[in-house]
Structure 1
Amino acid sequence: SLAFRQPMTSQRIAVVDKRPFFEKALCFGVQHDIVNAAKCQAIIADGAKGTLQVADHFGTSHLYSDLENARTRIVNLVSLYLEDSCGADLEKAACSLRENTFLFHSRSGNDMLKKLHAMPESTVYGDMKGQSLKDFQNERTLTNPFSLAAYRKELKRRQGNAAIIAAALWLADDMGIARSSLEFVSAEAVIRTAILVRFGGNEQGASRSQFAKLVEAVRSTVLASGKMRIPKTVLDDVPDEHREIVDRIRREMEKQDAPSMLNPAMALDVLMNIFESRYFMRETGLEDLDSFDAFVSKEWHQATGGKEDPYSRLTLFMCLAAGVKPKTTVSDVEARAMV
């Protein structure tokens, strides 16, 4: 008889090293004679000093639990800086431990967190921080410490937010909009408005009523051509550092706003309601609001014939109250009859 043997499947056991990067680098340095005994003693002394300082900052150095937490915090800070600055290279990290103090590494890690916290969490100008710096440090050194990948991902996201806000501020300055008007306003909304103003060839368009007139004018152009294409030339004077961001939003406008702009059945007030969350419209008081409401209301515009002076309005309201055909001018005989 023939015996058949099942081939043996080779299996490898993956070893996962969950030690902090600082510990890996220190062990590597000791094993490869990069970090000597004297340097190890200096690291221990600095670590003890730093642990007391960190414990006092977040609680007290008189409680064992706070000291243990502080030790974890400072190791996480050192690990974050070492892994980032040395590109996760253990030999480079060991050399850094040899050439710099332990406290230098912990301060550098803390500086990374401070830098990140100072960056905008969103693209809303002047938005409040979700956490104080101390709460942010508390979370990111102990309860939810950053891995290097997570830190770099969040850094990239916040750098993107800062770049969008910078582009919006440049365009706002170009339109003559005071920065005090931009508090808690989306930077993308400011950029969209600036692009539409340039596309419409109108130097003014930031107030609510001006913007409504701008949209109406642009819409007429778009409907006449049958497509919404905003030429890149409207961005010719935008600085290079802002160009990519502004151009991306220009393309988004063509894609997202075209269906509404190209729908002739959509009333202007409905279109403005859609654009309310996408564009920036500066509030300039009740007079502008009245002008805006009057302009976007087709029925009102037809009734007034475009007349917005107080006397025309009062005459119109008198007609409505008397139950006669509304108009903005009446003869003496008609006025007496209504009274």
Structure 2
Amino acid sequence: MMGEAMATGLTGLAAFDSRPFFDKALHHGVKQGIISPERLRAIEADFAKGIVQIANYFGTAYLRPELEQAVRRMVYLMSLYLEDVSGGAVAVAAASLRDKTLLSHSKGGSDMLKRLQAMPDSSLMIGNIVSPESQRAYLDDRTAAHTLTLAEYRAERAVRQVSQDTIDFSLWLARKMGVARGDYDDAEALIRSAMLVLFVDKAALTLPTRSGFVHLVKAAKRPQAKLDAVRFQAFFADAPAVFQQLAQRAMARFVEQDLPQIRADDTTADKLLYGDTAQPYFVGESLDEDVSEYDRLVAKEWQRVTRGESDDPQVLATVFLLLATGLPPKASMLLKDAKEVTRIFRSSGFDSQAVLGFVDQHAPESQRADLRRAWSDDIRREAEERLADTDPNWPDAYMERALAYLHGACRASWKKRR
């Protein structure tokens, strides 16, 4: 086994360029006298120890296939490390093999992969926690089935470094603008909101609540609104140089990509926060902010119709049943309304599209999916059953049963008969 392993590095002086970098460095070192026969024997001993350790780490050293795989793993790890530290110079790599143990080279390659795994692969603030099990699985994959060339490794590291820089920049902004580390989970979203704040002249230099976001979007929509470069530079005056560069790029991206979207005729603050194709923005929660204030700002007609009580099931049922029967929607139901709802339903059924259309046009974006489900799955089905008069054994020609149901299900403004 050992002779076969070392043959990887020493067989034939006319080996192809596709050899692992470790092979090239070892071959060069022996040929040029950089690595002495005595040192070569020490390398052989190191190699024997290394493949046993690697085989045991991933499985067992008692099976030949595991040992053969360990040879390939060790050669790969040493090659990755040597090519990186030597800059691709085989003479430098050969000198490293002469001066340092083989195990230190394989560990160097392993450490490179571990550092790569530990780096974030997105701007999400979820923390890239690496367990011993996930680390072993990652190394298993990257040293066998899906190895990386040095160029691929560096490209992946560069991508992850961008994510790391983005997260670090967002943390600086969060501290500067009064947001705690645990209060946001997307660095890109926080940076985008910060750029909106900095773009809007005279806006308070704090990250907005939902209602504050509405006012910022309204200000940014104005054609005359433009960045105050002096104010922007002053804000980042005490930032590290790398963050100043990131700030310039972030603002350039905001002006080029986000601002046109904000200024589009059909864009609202509500769509920016909760629309299906929205770019994420960060908004903070405030205990001092009226819960209905945001809905009032972004959904005035919905607020007017529901009187700000859309979280009341009776109000919601009232509005929906009136809409479904073509009556003007409102938060409470008169007795005459209840009779008309029953009459129209028994004559022509419910117009579900009228309900869903009103929701899509007037309700807050964040509530629309739940409101559609509330009508389709709950209110409509129950009302169709309770308002029907189709059982000859239990007639309701005078609507007594239907009115009793509506009195309980809706915000009724008449007294129930005893």
Which category describes the TM-score, using the shorter chain as reference length?
0.7 to 0.9
Distance 1:165 1:213 in 2: 27
2:410 matched residue in structure 1: none
Please give the alpha-carbon distance, in whole angstroms, between the structure 1 residues aligned to 2:30 and 2:71. Answer: 21
The answer as to 2:98 corresponding to 1:101 is: no
Offset, 1:266: 4.0
Q: Would you say the 8 A contact 2:295–2:303 is kept in 1?
A: no
Deviation, structure 1 residue 106: 0.9
1:331 maps to none
Counterparts of 1:298 and 1:133, CA distance in 2:
53
Question: Deviations along 1:243-279, whole A, 9 cap, x unmatched?
Answer: 1222212111111223333335544433444585331
What's 1:75 paired with?
A: 75
The one-letter amino acid paired with 1:48 is A
Report how far residue 117 of structure 1 moved: 1.2
**SS across alignment from 1:321:** coil
Question: In the superposition, relative to structure 1, how do residues 292 and 32 fare at CA in structure 2: closer, same or farther (>3 Å)?
Answer: same
Structure 2, unmatched stretches of 5+, are 1-14, 310-314, 320-328, 337-412
Aligned to 2:115: 115
Partner of 1:91: 91
Contact 1:269 1:296 in 2 (8 A): yes
Return the alpha-carbon distance in structure 1 between the equivalents of residues 113 and 219 of structure 2.
Answer: 48
**In structure 1, what is the Cα distance between the partners aligned to 2:75 and 2:230?**
50
Deviates more, 1:203-212 or 1:164-173: 203-212
Q: Quick one: distance in 1 between partners of 2:54 and 2:332?
A: 75
Which residue identity does 2:51 align to in structure 1?
T
Q: Which runs of 5+ in 1 are unaligned?
A: 1-14, 309-313, 325-336
State whether residues 178 and 206 of structure 2, in contact with CA within 8 Å, keep that contact through their aligned partners in structure 1. no
- Pick aligned residue for 1:296 from 295, 298, 303: 298
In the alignment, the residues of structure 1 paired with residue 289 and residue 157 of structure 2 have an alpha-carbon distance, to the nearest angstrom, of 44
| Partner SS, residue 332 of structure 2 | helix
CA contact (8 A) 2:213 2:283 kept: yes
Residues in 1 aligned to 2:22 and 2:267: alpha-carbon distance in whole angstroms: 62
Distance in 1, matches of 2:265 and 2:295, equals 20
Distance 1:119 1:291, change over 3 A: same
Larger deviation, residues 84-93 vs 133-142: 133-142
In structure 2, the residue matched to 1:231 is 229
2:151 to 149, 160, 163: 149
Q: Max radius of gyration: which structure? A: 2
CA distance in 2 between counterparts of 1:167 and 1:178 reads: 14
2 CA distance for matches of 1:169 and 1:235?
18
- 1:259 matched residue in structure 2: 260
Residues 208 and 284 of structure 2 are in contact (CA less than 8 Å); yes or no, is this contact kept in structure 1? yes
Q: Is the 8 A contact 2:198 2:227 kept in 1?
A: no
Distance 1:167 1:110, change over 3 A: same
Shift of 1:114: 1.3
> What is the rounded CA distance, in whole Å, between the counterparts of 1:142 and 1:50 in structure 2?
16
Q: Secondary structure at the match of 1:132?
A: helix
Pick aligned residue for 2:210 from 204, 208, 211: 208
Which residue, out of 111, 131, 134, partners 1:132?
Answer: 134
The Cα of 1:16 is off from its aligned counterpart by: 5.0
Q: Which has the higher contact order (CA 8 A, sep 6+)?
A: 1
Which deviations, in whole Å up to 9, do the C-alpha atoms of 1:40-59 show, x marking residues without a partner?
11111011111111111100
Cα shift readout 1:89-148 (whole Å, capped 9, x = no counterpart): 011111111111111111111111111111111111125569921111111111111111
Distance 2:191 2:290 in 1: 22
Alignment-mate amino acid for residue 196 of structure 1: L
Distance 1:241 1:54 in 2: 40
Deviation at 1:209, TM superposition (A): 2.5
Where does residue 197 of structure 2 map in the other structure?
Answer: 197
Question: Is contact 1:195-1:234 (8 Å) kept?
Answer: no
1:246 is aligned to 247
Distance change (3 Å), C-alpha of 1:284 and 1:60 = farther
Match of 2:352 in 1: none
| Residues 168-204 of structure 1: CA deviation (Å, up to 9, x unaligned) | 110011111111112xx32111111112123332234
| Root-mean-square deviation (Å) | 3.2
- Residue type matched to 2:196 in 1? L
Give yes or no for contact 1:295–1:301 (8 Å, CA) kept in 2: no
Structure 2 residue 29 is the aligned partner of structure 1 residue 29 = yes
Secondary structure of 1:153's aligned partner: helix
CA contact (8 A) 1:29 1:94 kept: yes
Show CA shifts across 1:208-252 (max 9, x none).
232223222333xx33x1x65463742433212211222212111
What is the match of residue 4 of structure 1? Answer: none
